[in-house]
Amino acid sequence: MNHPDRTNVNTPDIENVNVLDFDPMPSPEEIHARVPLTKIAVRTVMQGRETLRNILDRKDKRLFVVVGPCSIHDPVAGLDYARRLKALADEVSDTLFVVMRVYFEKPRTTTGWKGYINDPDMDDSFKVDKGMEKARQFLLDVAEIGLAAGTEALDPISPQFLGDLIAWTAIGARTTESQTHREISSGLSTPVGFKNGTNGDVGIAVNAILSASHAHSFLGINGQGRTAIVRTRGNRYGHIVLRGGDGRPNYDTVSVQMTEQALIKAKLPANIVIDCSHANSYKKPELQPLVMADVANQVRFGNRSLVGVMIESNLVAGNQPIPADLSQLKYGCSVTDACVDWESTEKMLRDVANQLRDVLPNRNR
């Protein structure tokens, strides 16, 4: 018998009140088919992940460096950067393992360009399907150059489209406290760096590492794009990224030792990465080399917990607003956070490699 309150109920104003449309999106399998993996790309990604795991497990004595543009907006300039970085990575490979920073999604406090996936044409047309395919193609090109790629996991379903081309993942300061992102991280195939909170709170990141190390079940999508219950085994390669907070740095020796103690108290490996940008350099890119030099000095004087660094770098220093006429964009210059230029990048990596070349082989013994 039908309940009188449940028959022929017309409720046009009860859901999706503020939704304009649901545009179709290709499934992850469809995007994969359009931009399939190659043998070279698979080898690059697998070797990159294994190297990072070995560094975190202290089987590999090198530091890893996640370096590259704050965000990708021009694939031509991005691949120009990647080719230069590959040559530099080979040059310092005895001391540093270089991962290219390839960020397609930008979290926004209020408004602004949300990144290459969300708006690849940079004109508020928001062709997300196009952006996802082009992002995958860019990652494939980087992998075929021979560079492992690191990115930020921001959108919960993006890993299904791109995750097979990623070697290292970051969870940003705004999302480290998000249970959704902790759950996603528990199922990612990469090591995951959790940044401290925007207020500098390290405890948020420690809790995130603990959460992601355990199994979770949550809603997501499968390869066919259907809603699915995702069940994970947990990710034991979570680690902390110190990026400063509330406008103050936290890469100094005292901050690093306090973070070590917090990790040890939580019975977690004391693996710490320093983000040379953001609050650690007061968002002044010219200060990033000073942060990098400080990290090298800490390692030289006996620190055993620092395993990596992050650098925001591009072909040209600084940043630029997005003009109405995109032909006026300056080649190789960031449209989000300001970066150090290529010459500074070369000097930073060469200097730290030279300083640590004879130090790292004997570290942790």
**All domains of the chain, ordered by start, with CATH?**
23-362 (3.20.20.70)
pLDDT of residue 140: 98
Strand 227-231 to strand 272-275: parallel, antiparallel, or no bridges (unpaired)?
unpaired
Give residue-wise pLDDT tens across range 32-87: 999 999 999 999 999 999 999 999 999 999 999 999 999 999 999 999 999 999 99
Amino acid at 11: T
Span 126-139, pLDDT tens digits: 999 999 999 999 99
Measured CA distances, 115 to 82, 122, 254, 320 (Å): 19, 8, 35, 15
Query: How far is residue 268's CA from residue 213's CA, in Å, rounded to a whole number?
Result: 10
pTM score: 0.95
Question: Which residues touch 87 (CB under 8 Å, ≥6 apart)?
Answer: none
Neighbours of 312 (CB within 10 A): 28
Running DSSP on this structure, what letter comes out for residue 224?
T
pLDDT tier, 13 (very low <50, low <70, confident <90, very high otherwise):
confident
Q: What is the mean pLDDT of the chain?
A: 95
Nearest one of 234, 271, 273 to 99, comparing CA atoms: 273
Question: β-pairing, 63-68 with 96-101?
Answer: parallel
Find the DSSP H helices in 146-190: 158-162, 179-187
- Does residue 5 surpass a pLDDT of 60? no
- CA dist list (Å): 40 to 37, 137, 336: 8, 14, 31
Contact 91, 65 (CB under 8 A): no
Mean pLDDT of 287-306: 98
